[in-house]
Amino acid sequence: MFKKFDEKESISGVQQLKSSVQKGIRTKILEQYPCLDKYLDTILPKKDIFRLVKCHDHIEIIINGSGDLLFFRHREGPWMPTLKLLHKYPFILPMEQVDKGAIRFVLSGANIMCPGLTSPGAIITPVDKGTIVSIMAEGKQHALAIGLTTLSTDDIVRVNKGIGVENFHYLNDGLWNMKNIK
């Protein structure tokens, strides 16, 4: 999604959100990530004005008053945390771990294949199809990608072929390299 994302060419506009829209977004994010209950006022303070960055390809990014990139979504899909936010709050998403052999492919933007999630060194957290997950790497401390499961973990183990997780955002992609927007 952000492989060829360039901040100067891809951003079409930034708009300040009304307080009612902000409240709706906060509610949606809290519904999606109930574990953020204690931290949401730190991430998206009620009194803070946050803005919506509209990008090409129907991508929207939420930024706070200081310009930090917090959540993004594609079309009207679910809000996903950016990797920088995920590194601060790693408990937000369920974790799937890939083996060492998959690291270079994930960091180049490839989707995570089922064999990379079922081989020795990989760890699977049970989740349903369509769940947003963080992709960890064997022997690494921080997440290297965020993706959406295309199969449930039971099906990933059973089928062991094809794409298991669709890669949306990874280290050193366009969103990761994007600077704060003032």
CATH architecture of the region 95-170? Roll (3.10)
pLDDT-based confidence at residue 32 (cuts at 50, 70, 90): very high
pLDDT over 90 (residue 181):
no
Overall average pLDDT of the 147-175 stretch: 93
Which sequence spans correspond to the domains of the chain? 11-84, 95-170
Count of Cβ atoms closer than 10 Å to residue 20 Cβ = 8
In sequence order, which ranges of the chain are alpha helices (DSSP H)? 7-10, 19-32, 40-43, 83-88, 103-106, 114-118, 153-159, 174-177
Q: What's the chain's length in residues?
A: 182
Strands 59-63 and 51-55: antiparallel
What digits encode the pLDDT tens for the residues 67-81? 889 999 988 889 999
Overall average pLDDT of the 44-71 stretch: 88
pTM here is 0.90
What digits encode the pLDDT tens for the residues 104-121? 999 999 999 999 999 998
In this prediction, residue 137 carries a pLDDT of 92
Identify the CATH assignment for 11-84 out of 3.40.50.1000, 3.40.50.150, 3.10.400.20, 3.40.640.10.
Answer: 3.10.400.20
What percentage of the chain carries pLDDT values higher than 70? 96
Overall average pLDDT of the 153-178 stretch: 92
Q: Is the fold of 11-84 the same as that of 95-170?
A: yes
DSSP state letters, 143-182: --EEEEESS-HHHHHHH--SEEEEEEEETTSHHHHPPPP-
